Amino acid sequence: MQDEKAFIAQLLDPKTQNDAFRQLVSQYSRPLYSHIRNIVLNHDDADDVLQNTFIKVFRNLSNFKGESKLFSWIYRIATNESLTFISQKAKKAGVSNQEILEKQAQELHADNYFSGDEIQQKLQQAITTLPEKQQLVFKMRYFEEIGYEEMSEILDTSVGALKASYHHASKKIENYFNTH
Amino acid sequence: MKPFNLDKEPKIKSGFTTPDSYFDDFTEKMMQQLPEQEVKVVPLYRRMSVWISSVAAVLVIALGVSLLLKTNTKSEPDATTIENYLVYQADILPNDFIQGLDKDAIEDLEASIAISDEDIENYLNNEDYDIYLNE
């Protein structure tokens, strides 16, 4: 915790800000990319959202009050950026958020940056049939293995509600596999 | 066929990949995109706004003071204005004028009225002054 406080102080000090931010980008780019890619599905979109996320983090460093962990704060920004991106894309296409994700999941086999087999694509398609919040919880727990406590801080939802969401999501996915 | 169970199946990975070496230069690419000295822009603007407000306040005060001085200056009304004032003031009677004039002023006034004898004669001819002449 003391280390995180010192690191945040470096991020806020103009003299050390650049070096500290370089360290932050280096440390967070891979896990944050996975988190965003799991939500937006497409590499180019994930690349755009990842860059926007880091820029937003940089711009808002002075607003970070330290009430939550730096990790949770950054993930919350990335999640919001990803969901906003999906909404904007769906709006442009004149369809719902769920419809655009379902369409993208169906076309994953043609994506140059998707190496999944039939089962992996089926899982992605099954996830897109879930409500938005259940999709998020399932992806964060199943693919990213983020703990419920941390997820609770990121999504601002109680641990109990998150566990219930994951349970419902799992059952629906199993049902999808059994019927498709 | 055995029902599908996520907990009993081997972990299914997302299957997402990235272009080769995507992360190799990502950090540097990201650093170049950062807005420069973002934090300092705000205080500078605020400081500028204080300066602008100060200058504006000084200008307003200067303008106000100059207007105040201007309106307080006593200016002498010209002769036409006085004349018009007196003409339209029903309370001021000819006798009041006479009271306000001394002997020298009356003589000056008489000297300034250049009326020819002919004009006086014409005037008297047009009026019935016999009543005065016969007295």
ipTM of the complex: 0.88
Name which of A132, A145, A163, A122 is nearest A34 in CA terms. Answer: A145
- Encoded amino acid at B19, one letter: P
pLDDT in tens, B103-134: 787 778 777 777 777 787 777 776 666 656 65
Partner A contacted by B37 (CB < 8 A): yes
What is the pLDDT, as a whole number, of residue A90?
95
Tell me which CATH code domain A2-179 carries.
Answer: 1.10.1740.10
DSSP state letters, A8-28: HHHHHSTTTHHHHHHHHHHHH
pTM given for the model: 0.68
> Cα separation of A178 and A139, whole Å?
20
pLDDT digits (tens, 9 = 90+) for A84-98: 999 999 999 999 999
Average of per-residue pLDDT values in chain A: 94
Domain ranges of chain A: 2-179
* Residues A58, B40 contacting (CB under 8 angstroms): no
Nearest-CA distance from A47 to chain B in Å?
10
Nearest C-alpha neighbor of A52 from the set A66, A65, A40 = A40
Question: Is B50 within a domain?
Answer: yes
Structural domain containing residue B112: 93-133
Share of chain A above pLDDT 90, in %: 87
Residue B32 lies in a domain: no
Nearest C-alpha in A relative to B17: A113
Determine the residue of chain B that is closest to A17 in CA distance.
B37
Give CA A74 to chain center in angstroms.
10
**Residue B128 has what pLDDT?**
62
C-alpha dihedral (A179, B7, A145, B14), degrees to nearest 10: -40
**Do the chains contact at B33 and A55, CB–CB below 8 Å?**
yes
Distance in angstroms (rounded) separating the CA atoms of residues B39 and B4: 54
* Sole residue written with tokens 């307080």: B72
Number of domains within chain B? 2
**Range of lowest pLDDT (A82-86, A158-162, B66-70):** B66-70
